[in-house]
Amino acid sequence: MSRANQWFVPGDGIAREVITADIQRYLGPDALVRPGTGTGEYQGQPGYWITAYRTLTSQMIQDLKMDSQRWQQERQPGDVGRGVAYQDSRTHAARQHWGPTKPYEHGAPKSAADPYDQPPRQSSTSSRATT
């Protein structure tokens, strides 16, 4: 069995709630994340220490930033989702449903790769009402 690696990801633009809730979706059930301060080239920067067998790709980091931004917009005053925890948010539900964004292929239309352009599908067995 391979050995888990540990590395630092700068926290700029990544909400703690988002990375904590989604890290296992990206890197598997053994992945761990903890907030901390960087060393080396990231000396003194706030961010996250990740322990996992795989590393986050640049697309995964972009997804975490975009989900952090989307969740923040959900929490804006006047929105129905105001004050909603990330794990209860539409953003988190969509990420859990669609998974990580696939890298764009040359010539592929954006809508084919961006699941946020379409609402998540509702399960016919769900007993939860949508509002």
The answer to pTM > 0.75 is no
- Can you give the residue ranges of every domain in the chain? 5-117
Residue that wins the pLDDT comparison between 42 and 74: 42
pLDDT of residue 96: 75
pLDDT digits over 51-108, tens only? Answer: 999 999 999 999 999 999 988 888 776 555 567 788 777 787 777 767 777 765 444 4
Residue that wins the pLDDT comparison between 13 and 79: 13
pLDDT of residue 82: 60
Cα dihedral sign, 77-92-54-102: negative
Q: List 48's β-bridge partners, or say none.
A: 9, 35
Mean pLDDT estimate for the chain: 77
Judging by DSSP bridges, how do beta strands 5-10 and 32-37 pair with one another?
A: unpaired
pLDDT above 90 covers a percentage of the chain that reads: 49
Taking Cα atoms as reference points, which of 12, 13, 23, 18 lies closest to residue 53? 23
On the question of pLDDT at 40 being above 80, the answer is yes
